[in-house]
Amino acid sequence: MGMSRRQFTKEFKEAAVRRLELGASVGEVARACEVNANVLHRWKRELHDYGVKAFAGNGRPRAEEEGLATLERKVGRQALEIDFLQRCLQHVEEQRKLQALTMRGSSTRTSKRK
């Protein structure tokens, strides 16, 4: 059976970051808190970026980030649709030009003399 993922409280994370800000080395705090140094860097960045809103959830993205990701997916889909429709329009225009050229050549009238 696999190990379960450890969860840390908001207070624990803030205390670890505070120790870093007071001058303790990343390695020292990482060993004391029994976490990877990369985790400390991420906590520090999150606290710096979000302030009091940092560490709000249990691994779930923030509502703003989730909404932004939804909008980015929608924009991406629309960009693909626009690209597809532009290629279709280009193809139709090429076909129309080709048809106009072939119609012009074959539609010349010849007069018959009687």
pLDDT tens digit sequence for 14-65 = 999 999 999 999 999 999 999 999 999 999 999 888 888 788 766 566 667 7
Residues 71 and 83 in one domain: yes
In a domain, 3, yes or no: no
Instruction: Give the chain's count of helices (H) and strands (E).
Output: 4, 0
Residues 17 and 52 in one domain: yes
What is the pLDDT confidence band of residue 91, given thresholds at 50, 70 and 90?
Answer: very high
pLDDT tens digit sequence for 64-77 = 777 888 899 999 99
Residues 12 and 52 in one domain: yes
Q: Write out the residue range of the structural domain in which residue 42 sits.
A: 8-59
Q: What is the CATH number of the domain that holds 21?
A: 1.10.10
In a domain, 55, yes or no: yes
Residues 53 and 12 in one domain: yes
The region, left, alpha or beta by phi > 0 then psi within -120 to 50, assigned to residue 25 is beta
In a domain, 67, yes or no: yes
